[in-house]
Amino acid sequence: MDLQLTNKIIIVTGGAKGIGEGIVKLLAGEGAIPVIVGRSEQDNLQVVKSIEVNGGKAAQVVAELTKPEECERAVKEILKRFGRIEGLVNNAGVNDSVGLESGNYQGFMASLHKNVVHYYLMAHFALPALKESKGVILNITSKTADTGQGNTSGYAAANGGRNALTREWAVELLKYGIRVNAIVVAECWTPLYENWLNTLPDPQANLKEIESKIPLGNRMTTVEEIANMAAFLLSERSSHTTGQLVYVDGGYVHLDRALANA
């Protein structure tokens, strides 16, 4: 299926690692020109070069997304270089363990800036260009907004905000023909997830326990599976889909846990 993404300029925040990197590489493989926005030029360029070596196109802008002025500058740089934006993937964030007992006001507010405020800012600054292109916004969110996790109030609140903004923007931007959707991620295998797992006393036993609770196949979701859905939602092949929270999670959030071991 031709996703009709050739030469489309699509911003991907946090596109140098994990899920963001997977989305960037898949978009480039579909002929799009993904633009990574992230704080590490070295990491950004490493992904860009790996795409170019394989004949694809990509670009990068260095920005600290917790700073509003950096979000604005990043969008301006992209427009100066390409003159247009057809898509925005809000992906950057971190599960930072700012809990109710363990956290404080400063930590909680910082977590919101790391995880949801820049979603709003990037969409706000990119909006004039997205109006012109009748573009697409895709928010990457987490199951923590639905399930809770414990000791991560900031991250959970941010993901609740990401989900709500997805629906809110879908309504507000209907008149411009801009579609807004979200992918909700549960247990997805990334380097960051692996690093977290390795902090536990018995990583392999814990991984087996987690996988046993994922109904479809008793396995983790892959980055490629998230990226495949992202590409579809960014494409005209999903032209009548907006305001949706799409769970790419093997049934983890909604299916009866009894099914996991059936």
Residue 158 has phi, psi (to 5 degrees) of: -65, -40
Alpha carbons 258 and 262: distance in angstroms, whole number: 7
Q: Of all residues in the chain, what percent are helix, strand and coil, respectively (each to 5)?
A: 50, 15, 35
Alpha carbons 44 and 241: distance in angstroms, whole number: 31
Which residues are bridge partners to 60 per DSSP? 36
Q: Which two tokens stand for residue 229?
A: 């859905």
**Of the residues 105, 119, 120, 155, which is catalytic?**
155
- Tell me if residue 155 is catalytic: yes
Distances in whole angstroms, Cα of residue 94 to Cα of each of 19, 57, 104, 155, 171? 12, 27, 17, 7, 27
Residue 174 has phi, psi (to 5 degrees) of: -55, -45
H or E stretch covering 182:
strand 179-185
262, 217 in Cβ contact below 8 A?
no
- Could you list the active site residues? 155
